[in-house]
Amino acid sequence: MNELRIKAQNAKESARVLATKTTQEKNEALTLMAIQLMKEESYLLTENAKDVQIARKNGTNAGIIDRLTLTSERLQDIAEGLKQVASLTDPVGESLSKTTRPNGLHIEKVRVPLGVIGMIYEARPNVTIDASSLCLKAGNAVLLRGSSSAIHSNTALVAVVQRALEKTSIPVEAIQLIEDTSRETATEMFTLNEYLDVLIPRGGASLIQSVVKNASVPVLETGVGNCHLFIDRSAKPEMAISIAVNAKTQRPSVCNTIETILVDHQWADAHFQDLLHSLDEKGVAFVGDEKTQSYDQRIKAADEADWATEFLELKVALKIVDSVDEAISHIHVYGTKHSESIISEDAKNIQTFLNQIDAAAVYHNASTRFTDGFEFGFGAEIGISTQKLHARGPMGLEALTSTKYIVQGTGQVKG
Amino acid sequence: MNELRIKAQNAKESARVLATKTTQEKNEALTLMAIQLMKEESYLLTENAKDVQIARKNGTNAGIIDRLTLTSERLQDIAEGLKQVASLTDPVGESLSKTTRPNGLHIEKVRVPLGVIGMIYEARPNVTIDASSLCLKAGNAVLLRGSSSAIHSNTALVAVVQRALEKTSIPVEAIQLIEDTSRETATEMFTLNEYLDVLIPRGGASLIQSVVKNASVPVLETGVGNCHLFIDRSAKPEMAISIAVNAKTQRPSVCNTIETILVDHQWADAHFQDLLHSLDEKGVAFVGDEKTQSYDQRIKAADEADWATEFLELKVALKIVDSVDEAISHIHVYGTKHSESIISEDAKNIQTFLNQIDAAAVYHNASTRFTDGFEFGFGAEIGISTQKLHARGPMGLEALTSTKYIVQGTGQVKG
C-alpha cells in the first residue's frame, strides 16, 4: 500500500475512536495543540522559511508569497483560532428530533461525525490548522493534502499537532498530512470511497472543478462567487453607492465580492454618474453594456465572458436593466448561486428578488461581503458551499456532521 | 440538442416557475393527477400490457413481471398515493432559523426546492408516479429515466400526468420522461451539472454504483443494505428469535432485511438450536463460521463473500461472537451503514452498540425492517440514503429540499 492508502486506513480506524470522545477530551486536545504551536514557534518559522525561499526562487508573485508566509504574529492568530474552536458548542450528540410511533418505537435523530474528511487545498498553511481543528471538534479524522509549495510548512505544522495529540486520548492519526504532493495522489483521493466520507476542495476554480468532475467520494463544493448587486429604482442613492463600493472594493479577491452591478434605468438616470465616480475613486475599472456607455463613454464594452467571470480584482461589469425581473433573469443566467443583493425600498420588488433568486445567500440592503461563517455567527468556517446538497452557504461545524437514527423498541416486528 | 438536453433545459426553466408556486397550487395539481390516472385507466393498462408481453416473450422471471404489471387495483393505489402526498406538509418555505447579528442584520434560513432532480430507476412503473409526486410537492422539476422494459408504461403514465398538469398553473415540463433508454443517455445524465441539481438512482447495486462512480452531479445514494442482527447474551430468547425471523423472512428481497446474525456464545449455548429451528421453519438456508458448525452440522461453511453479500433471499449467515465488541468490529468491516440491531437487556452493551455502530439506523430490541419513510412517520419515501451527506436513512420530502439564507439589512457594509 502507498502512503495515501496507509494513512487513509489509519484515518478510518482513528475516526472510529474519535467519534466516541467527549467534548472535553476534544477541547483539551485543541488547547494542547495551541500550546504546542507556540512552543515550537522557531521550528515552524524555520520550516516555513524554506517554502518561502523556494517560492521566491521560483519567481512566485508577492501576494502568494505573503499568504504563504508565517510570522510569529500569524502563528499566534492560528493558536488563538484553536482556542476559539475549543470554545464552540460541540455539534456531536445533539438531538435533532424525537418521536414515538403508534407501535411504540422511539425514534431519535442525533448528530454524529461524518467520519473521514479529505481536504485538498492550495498554498495557505493556516488552512492546515483551521481545517484540522474544525474536523477534530466535529469528531472527524482528516486527511490533508496541501500543495507542494507549502510542503515544509504543512509537514511541520502537522508534526507539531501530532506531538500535541500524543499527550491526549485522541489518536495521532486523526490528523494526517499526505506528504506526496503529486497530482496522481490527489487524483487517487477522488475515488477513495472505501476510506473517505467526504472531500472538501479549497482553492481556485480549476482545483474545485477537477474534484467535482472526477470524484466519486461525495464532495462539499466550495465554489466560485459571481455575485451581483441590483440597484432598484427605489434604492436610496447613498446606501446603494456605499454598498456597491463596499461589496466591490473592500476585498476584491474573495468569493463574496460582487462582479456585476445591475442598475435600474430610472435610478441610473439620476445617480449613475455618482456611482461611477465613487467606484472610480477606489480604482475600479468598468466594463458595461451599451446603455451604460450612453451614460459614460469611458465604460468599455462588456463581452459575454465579462458577465460570467469572477474577476477577483478591482473590475466591475455594469448593466442597465428595465426592471427587477430583468435583473433576476440576468442573475439566473450568469450567477453562481453564491450571494446576490437587492438595494430597494419597494416591498414588492424586494419580495420578488428574495423569493426568486436561487442562491446560498440573498440580501436586501446589505453588502454581499457578509456571506461568511463568522459574520453569520457560526464562530468558524470550513468554506462557503455553493452546492445545494447537505450544506449551502457558509459552513460551520454542523456542516461537518451527519446524522443517525437511534430506534429503541420492546420487541417490535413488522407486520 | 438531443432529447435529454432539451428536456433538461425545459426542466431547469420549469423548476424556476415551480419554486414560486403555492402549496395549494401544488396540491391541486397532485389531485388532478390522481383523477386523470383513474380517468385514463384503460389506456394505461393497455400500454402496460405491451411491456408485460415483451417481458414474457423475453423470458423475464415471474417476480420481475409481477412488479412490472399494473392492474386496476394498483392504479388505484398509485392514485391514492398522490392524494396522500397532497396531504403532507409542504416543506418549502419552512423557517429553519432566525438570528439578528450585532450589526443589525436579520439572517433567516429557509427551506427551498433543490431545483431539478434526475431519477434513474429500474422496472417498477409505480416509481414513475411516486417520485414525480414527491419531487413536485417539494417544488422540484424531475427528469425521469426509467428502464426500457417499462418504456410503454412510463411513457403513458407521464403523458397522463402531463395532461393533468396542462389544467394547472404548473408547467407540464415539471415532470418529463427521457424516452431514449439507451445506456449512453443515462451516462450523459451523470455529468449534466449545468441542468441537474441532484441525481437519485433507484435499483440494483450495479446501477447505483455506476452512478456513484461516474456522476459529477451530486448523488443521493440509496444503497445496499447488508444489515446485521446481534443477539447479546442478555437477550430475551423469544424476543430475539421473533425479531430474527421477522428481520430475515418478512420480506427477504428488500434492503432493510438482515443478512447476518451475530450471536453471543453464551446465548448460543442455551438458544441457538431454537433460533435455527425457527428460521428453518420459514425455509431459511444457513451458512456460518466454524463455531456455528459445532452447534449444528447442517450449517455450511460461510466464505468471505457471504459476510459481505446482500443475499436478498431466504439465506442467512451466522456467526458466534464473544462480546458486543466483536459484533461491532464485524459490522464495522462488513456493514453497509444501513440498519443494524442489537437484542439485549444489558444497558451497557446496548449503549456501546448504539453509540459505536456507524449506520443510518441503529436499533435496540426491534426489527431492522422498520427502516422506511412510512414507518418513521414521514408519510412518504423517495428512498433510503446510505450516504452521510445531506440525508441519511429514509428520505421524505425534506430530503428533496435545500436551504437559502435571506439576509435583510438597513445599509450594512463590511468594516
> What's the full length of chain B, in residues?
415
Alpha helices, DSSP H, located in B166-236: 183-190, 205-214
ipTM over 0.95: no
Q: Give residue for cell 446482500.
A: B310
Same domain, A204 and A331: no
CB atoms within 10 A of CB B348: 10
- Report the Cα A263 to chain-centroid distance in Å: 29
Helix B347-356 and helix B324-334, axial crossing angle in degrees, nearest 10: 20
- pLDDT for A314-356, tens place per residue? 999 999 999 999 999 999 999 999 999 999 999 999 999 999 9
Say yes or no: B252 and B112 in one domain.
no
Domain encompassing residue B269: 227-370
Chain A residue numbers touching B344 (CB-CB < 8 A): none
Q: Express each pLDDT in A256-295 by its tens digit.
A: 999 999 999 999 999 999 999 999 999 999 999 999 999 9
Any domain includes A376: no
Check which CATH number belongs to the domain holding B62 and give it: 3.40.605.10
Within this chain, do residues A77 and A200 fall inside the same structural domain, yes or no? yes
**Does the beta-carbon distance from B404 to A361 stay under 8 Å?**
yes
CA distances for A138 relative to A133, A222, B44, B354, angstroms: 9, 19, 52, 19
Cα–Cα distance, B31 to B37 (Å, whole number): 10
Helix (H, G, I), strand (E, B) or coil at A154: helix
The number of CA neighbours under 13 Å toward the Cβ of A235 is 35
Q: Is the pLDDT of residue A170 over 80?
A: yes
Q: Which residues contact B273 (CB under 8 A, 6 or more apart)?
A: B295, B296
Distance CA B111, CA A231 (A): 26
A298 pLDDT tier (thresholds 50, 70, 90):
confident
Q: What is the pLDDT of residue A58?
A: 96
Torsion angle in degrees (nearest 10) through CA of A231, A233, A235, A237: 90
DSSP string, B302-350: P-HHHHH----SSEEEEEEESSHHHHHHHHHHH--SSEEEEE-S-HHHH
We report the CATH number of the domain holding residue B317 as: 3.40.309.10
Cα A175 to Cα A11, A117, A130, A401, B305: the distances in Å are: 8, 10, 12, 17, 33
Cα–Cα separations (whole angstroms), residue B172 to B11, B113, B151, B159, B168 = 9, 17, 19, 10, 9
Identity of the amino acid at A322: D
Can you tell me the distance from the alpha carbon of B138 to that of B198, in angstroms, rounded to the nearest whole number? 14
Residue A368: burial class (beta carbons within 10 Å; 0-12, 13-18, 19+): buried
- Is A258 part of any domain? yes
User: Is B243 among the domain residues?
Assistant: yes
Nearest-CB residue to A362 (from B245, B361, B407):
B407
Chain A positions in Cβ-Cβ contact with residue B405 (cut-off 8 Å): 360-362, 371, 376, 392-393
CA A400 from centroid of its chain's CA atoms = 12
DSSP letter for B145, please: E
Q: Which residues contact B77 (CB under 8 A, 6 or more apart)?
A: B126
Q: Would you state the pLDDT for residue A122?
A: 86
Query: Quick check: helix, strand or coil at residue A366?
Result: strand
Q: Are strands B393-395 and B258-264 parallel, antiparallel or unpaired?
A: unpaired
Q: With 90 as the cut, is the pLDDT of residue A366 above it?
A: yes
Domain count, chain A: 2
The one-character DSSP state at A88 is: S
Instruction: Report yes or no: A14 at the B interface, CB cutoff 8 Å.
Output: no
Q: CA–CA separation, B320 vs A368, rounded Å? A: 60
Instruction: Give CA B403 to chain center in angstroms.
Output: 22
Q: Is residue B110 part of a domain?
A: yes
415 residues of chain B, pLDDT tens digit each: 899 999 999 999 999 999 999 999 999 999 999 999 999 999 999 999 999 999 999 999 888 899 899 999 999 999 999 999 999 999 999 999 999 999 999 999 999 999 999 999 987 899 999 999 999 999 999 999 999 999 999 999 999 999 999 999 999 999 999 999 999 999 999 999 999 999 999 888 888 889 999 999 999 988 789 999 999 999 999 999 999 999 999 999 889 999 999 999 999 999 999 999 999 999 999 999 999 999 998 899 999 999 999 998 999 999 999 999 999 999 999 999 999 999 999 999 999 999 999 999 999 999 999 999 999 999 889 999 999 999 999 999 999 999 999 999 999 999 9
C-alpha to C-alpha distance for A165 and A162, rounded to whole angstroms: 5
Q: What is the pLDDT of residues A11-64, one digit of tens each?
A: 999 999 999 999 999 999 999 999 999 999 999 999 999 999 999 999 998 888
pLDDT above 70 coverage of chain A, percent: 100
Contact B407/A370 with Cβ under 8 angstroms?
yes
User: Both A51 and A200 in a single domain?
Assistant: yes
The single-letter code of the amino acid at A25 is E
Count of alpha carbons within 13 Å of B350, Cβ hemisphere only?
16
Do B264 and B311 fall within a single domain? yes
Q: Do B411 and A242 touch (CB under 8 A)?
A: yes
B250 near A CB under 8 A: yes
Checking DSSP bridges between strand A285-288 and strand A383-385, what pairing results, if any? unpaired
Asked if A288 contacts A317 with a C-beta cutoff of 8 angstroms, the reply is: yes
Q: Which residue of B has its CA nearest to A415?
A: B250
Residue A385 inside a domain? The answer is: no
* Residues B75 and B172 occupy one common structural domain: yes
For position B388, what pLDDT does the model report?
93
- Kindly state whether residues A332 and A400 are assigned to the same domain: no
One domain, residues B241 and B212: no
Residue A271 lies in a domain: yes
For an interface test with B, the pick among A222, A407, A410 (most B C-beta atoms closer than 10 Å) comes out as A407
**Is the distance from CB of B370 to CB of B381 less than 8 angstroms?**
no
Dihedral angle over CA of A267, A268, A272, A275, nearest 10: 50
Residue B4 exposed, middle or buried by CB count within 10 Å (0-12, 13-18, 19+): buried
At residue B147, the pLDDT reads 92
DSSP structural state of residue B278: H
Q: What's the CA gap between A1 and A403, in Å, rounded? A: 32
Q: Which three cell numbers stand for residue A138?
A: 466535529
Which of A19, A354, A409 lies at the smallest CB-CB distance from B363? A409
Residues in chain A within 8 Å Cβ distance of B191: 213
Name B114's Cβ contacts closer than 8 Å, sequence gap at least 6. Answer: A388, A389, B138, B140, B197, B198, B400, B401, B402
Q: Does B106 touch chain A (CB under 8 A)?
A: no
Tell me how far apart the alpha carbons of residues A6 and A92 are, in angstroms, rounded to a whole number.
Answer: 27
Shortest alpha-carbon distance between residue B153 and chain A (Å):
31
Task: State whether B200 and B188 are in the same domain.
Answer: yes
Residues B60 and B196 both lie in one domain = yes
DSSP conformation letters of B122-144: -S-THHHHHHHHHHHHTT-EEEE
- Cβ atoms B343, B240 nearer than 8 A: yes
Residue B405, SS3 per DSSP: strand
What pLDDT, on a 0 to 100 scale, did the predictor assign at position B1?
81
Neighbouring residues of B49: CB distance < 8 A, sequence distance ≥ 6: none
User: Tell me, what's the pLDDT at B359?
Assistant: 97
Give A81-84's long-range contacts (Cβ < 8 A, gap of 24+): A81/A126, A81/A129, A81/A130, A81/A133, A82/A30, A82/A31, A82/A33, A82/A34, A82/A37, A82/A129, A82/A133, A83/A30, A83/A31, A83/A34, A84/A379, A84/A380
Residue A383 falls within a domain, yes or no?
no
A42 and A191 both lie in a single domain? yes
Mean pLDDT of chain A: 95
* pLDDT of the residue at A222: 86
- B366/A412 Cβ within 8 A: yes
Q: How many other CB atoms are there within 10 angstroms of residue A321's CB atom?
A: 23
**Chain A interface, best mutation among B246, B352, B412, by max A CB count within 10 A:** B412
Evaluate if residue A124 carries a pLDDT over 90. no
**Same-domain status, A39 and A66:** yes
Burial A288-320 (b: 16+ CB within 10 A, else e): bbebbbebeeebeebeeebbbbbbbeebbbbbb
- Helix, strand, coil % over all residues of chain A, rounded to 5: 45, 20, 30
* B377 lies in some domain: no
